[in-house]
Amino acid sequence: MIRIVRPATFIFLAATLIGCGQEEPDQNTASSPVQVDLILTNGKVLTVDGSFSIHNTVVVDDGRIIETGPVSITENYDPASVVDLQGKTLMPGFIDSHTHIRGRPQRYIELGDVTSIAEIQDLIRAKAAEMGEGEWITGYGWSEDELAEGRRPLRQDLDLAAPNNPVTLTRAGGHSAVVSSLALELAEITDATPDPEGGVIERDSNGAANGIIRERQNIVGRLVPDSTYEELLASLEVNLNDLLSKGITSIIDASKSPRQYAMWEELYESAELELPRSAIQFQWRNPEAIAEVKARVGDGTDFLKIGPIKVFADGGFTGPAAYTLEPYLNQGDYRGYLNMPEDELIAHLNEIHDAGWQMGIHAIGDAAIVLVVNALADALERNPRQDHRHYLNHFSMRPPDLTMELMADHDIHITQQPNFTYTLEGRYAANLDGWRLDHNNPLRSPMDHGITVAISSDILPTGPMVGLYAAVTRKGMSGVVYGPDEAITIEEAIRGYTLTGAYLNFEEDLKGSLEAGKFADMIVLSADILTIEPERIMDIEIEQTYVDGKLVFEKE
């Protein structure tokens, strides 16, 4: 266990470490030690600075890093508290630069850990008994790749569990859902209902709707009654607090409304639980409301602020609906969808750019990436902006090299989810083949082109270790390696999940590395992430999390 050391004991500990020759004493030690709040020492400290320096000790005061270095620097300070890391690895807290955290209503079922359709049915039955007949049941997180039956749940499966409750369960990733027969009936969707623009109502071999709706599941979801403000607020607090146990100390939440921002403000003012730092992305649906929030909150606080504007260019792979240059595998000439007509999307991007906002743009398919990059390059040449930091969310399919060269030339960045290579392996293998499959979720090639690449989760899953594992190994859930030439080093992956995430939000001078003057947002790992076998990265646990130098999570 990590030890909290009494200051008197600490003097002996520091002297012992120095005397044993672990570190040479600093010859310029001040004669009068400076009082500080906290020292963490006797560890492997990954600073994630420019040279990825490794030290032994971190000094913290008033929530900020004062100094990192050898144990000898402790002679300069008089700490109120000392942590003996006992050789454990200390590094910056993870910054998840693209995630979705929500408050959940009572009717909601968490499906992220289910392993069978039978288990989903049991959860539906229990929720129906809790809510009562006729009440809507919602849920999120199922994936056919993790279900024992090896297939998606369909309307008949939901009907068996709750024939008298309308049910809609969104797939992990959020780009499709399965709904029950009663839900379809209430939404007035029949076998003859045409596909909504930009979406698909799936049908079986007889032409009957099977309950799966891609991309436009809100044609059913719009009927779900609104949750109460109180239940959402309480659930949001719990869900944000849970991120600290995963070592996540900062997030960019990808897509909220200006009205929802007020709920987050209330939470951060009144929360009883510890919370990570958050930046909120708005969609450009109500520019006036966004401007009003911006005028009111300005740069926000150290814990809550407005992030980039979110734009959806195309769909996702779980549909599939990502917009591709070539047709999907064994699906005729089907190439997915743009989220809006091409000319409308280009005008949308230009309007936001000209309004002076940074953008984080959802672009998954290679055709969508090419279109967005061309539009951004044209906008930047027409109306240059210094240090705009526009970036693409996802960048799942590797586009042509010319597109990546254009991105590098115009400083268009990426936040990508290498964890998709692991968790969405089945969806990729079903829809792509050959070079496209091997080079999906590329990391090395955009970095080699000079593109800044951050790493994030998009909650598939939320825990960063899966993303780090897949970035280094390029392995899917089956153990198959996809495009080993796209793998990066563990040092590069850590930087992508920390300092580069801060950079995307113009906060690289405040967090993302353990350097003097930055927030003391830190995590202690159960193993040395730099030397552990790559196959064991997902076994690493978070033992402690610090925000502003305050211990906010400790593993029992």
- Are 457 and 417 in contact, with CB atoms under 8 Å apart? yes
Contact 392, 361 (CB under 8 A): yes
**pLDDT confidence of residue 9:** 54
Residues 357 and 550: their CA atoms lie apart, in Å, by: 33
pLDDT score recorded for residue 3 = 65
Phi and psi for 441 in degrees, rounded to 5? 50, 55
Q: What is the largest CA-CA distance in the chain?
A: 86
pLDDT digits (tens, 9 = 90+) for 489-527: 999 999 999 999 999 999 999 999 999 999 999 999 999
The pLDDT, as a whole number, for residue 17 is: 52
Percent of the chain having pLDDT more than 70?
A: 95
Q: Contact, 57 vs 26, CB < 8 A?
A: no
Cα–Cα distance between 202 and 198 in angstroms, integer?
13
Indicate the length of the chain as a whole number: 556
pLDDT on residue 20: 47
What per-residue confidence (pLDDT) applies to 173? 82
Q: How much is the pLDDT for 21?
A: 46
Helices 366-382 and 401-409, axial angle in degrees (round to 10):
30
Q: What separation, in Å, do the N-terminal and C-terminal C-alpha atoms of the chain show? A: 10
pLDDT of residue 174: 86
Residue range 117-124: mean pLDDT, rounded = 97
In the predicted model, what is the mean pLDDT of residues 210-237? 94
User: Taking residues 529-537, what's their average pLDDT?
Assistant: 98
Q: How far is Cα 339 from Cα 283, in angstroms, rounded to an integer?
A: 13
| Dist CA 405 CA 373 (whole Å) | 10
Q: Would you state the pLDDT for residue 5?
A: 62
Q: Where are the alpha helices (DSSP H) in 52-151?
A: 117-131
* DSSP H helical ranges for 205-319: 218-221, 229-244, 258-270, 287-297
d(CA 520, CA 97): 19
What distance in Å separates the CA atoms of residue 549 and residue 40, rounded to the nearest whole number? 10
Tell me how far apart the alpha carbons of residues 79 and 389 are, in angstroms, rounded to a whole number: 39
Task: Kindly tell me if the per-residue pLDDT of 2 is higher than 90.
Answer: no
C-beta of residue 46 within 8 angstroms of C-beta of residue 494: yes
- Distance of alpha carbon 194 from alpha carbon 208, whole angstroms: 12
Calculate mean pLDDT across residues 85-105.
96
> What local confidence, expressed as pLDDT, does residue 155 receive?
97
> pLDDT: is 6 or 58 the higher one?
58
pLDDT at 100 over 70: yes
Q: Output the pLDDT for position 300.
A: 97
Query: How much is the pLDDT for 318?
Result: 78
pLDDT average, residue stretch 429-445: 97
Q: What distances in angstroms separate CA 295 from CA 269, 289, 300, 305, one per listed residue?
A: 19, 10, 10, 12
By CB atoms closer than 10 A (0-12, 13-18, 19+), residue 218 is middle
Cβ 141 vs Cβ 147: under 8 Å? no
| Residue-level pLDDT at 29 | 47
Instruction: Sketch the domain layout of the chain as residue ranges.
Output: 3-87, 105-221, 229-550
Of the candidates 404, 419, 524, the residue with the CA atom closest to the CA atom of residue 474? 419
Given phi > 0 = left and psi -120 to 50 = alpha, else beta, which region is 298? left
3-state secondary structure of 81: strand
Eight-class DSSP state of 146: G
Would you state the structure tokens that stand for residue 411, as one six-digit string?
Answer: 């400083």
Is pLDDT above 50 for 269?
Answer: yes
Find the mean pLDDT for residues 472-489: 98
pLDDT tens profile 328-343: 999 999 999 999 999 9
Instruction: Give me the residue label for tokens 């569990």.
Output: 161
**Count of alpha carbons within 13 Å of 84, Cβ hemisphere only?**
15
DSSP secondary structure letter of residue 441: S
Residue 10 pLDDT class (50, 70, 90 cuts): low
pTM of the entire structure?
0.87
Is domain 105-221 annotated with CATH 3.40.50.300?
A: no
Residue 378 has pLDDT above 60, yes or no: yes
Q: Which residues make beta-bridge pairs with 69? A: 57
Query: Which sign, positive or negative, has the C-alpha torsion 55, 57, 62, 63?
Result: positive
The CATH number for 3-87, chosen from 2.60.120.10, 2.40.50.140, 1.20.120.420, 2.30.40.10, is 2.30.40.10
From residue 472, how far is each of 150, 253, 440 by CA, in Å? 27, 25, 14
Question: Using an 8 Å Cβ cutoff, are 375 and 345 in contact?
Answer: yes
Q: Is 214 helix (H, G, I), strand (E, B) or coil?
A: strand
Question: Averaged over 528-545, what is the pLDDT?
Answer: 98
**Residue 115, CA distances (Å) to 145, 150, 425 in order:** 9, 10, 16
pLDDT higher than threshold 80 for residue 153: yes
| Domain range 229-550, CATH architecture | Alpha-Beta Barrel (3.20)
**Is the pLDDT reported for residue 347 higher than 90?**
yes
- The mean-pLDDT minimum among 193-202, 244-253, 376-385 falls in 193-202
φ, ψ of residue 16 in degrees (nearest 5): -65, -45
Report the pLDDT value the prediction gives residue 139, as an integer from 0 to 100.
Answer: 96
| Range 446-461 average pLDDT | 96
Mean pLDDT, residues 47-76: 97
Cis peptide leading into residue 79 (ω within 30°): no
Proportion of the chain above pLDDT 90, given as a percent: 90
The tokens describing 299, both together, are 């740069």
Rounded CA-CA distance 493/46 in Å is 13
Element of type H or E holding 154: none
Q: Are strands 391-394 and 359-363 parallel, antiparallel or unpaired?
A: parallel
pLDDT of the residue at 198: 86
pLDDT digits (tens, 9 = 90+) for 232-251: 999 999 999 999 999 999 99
Sign of the torsion angle spanned by Cα atoms 83, 87, 92, 93: negative
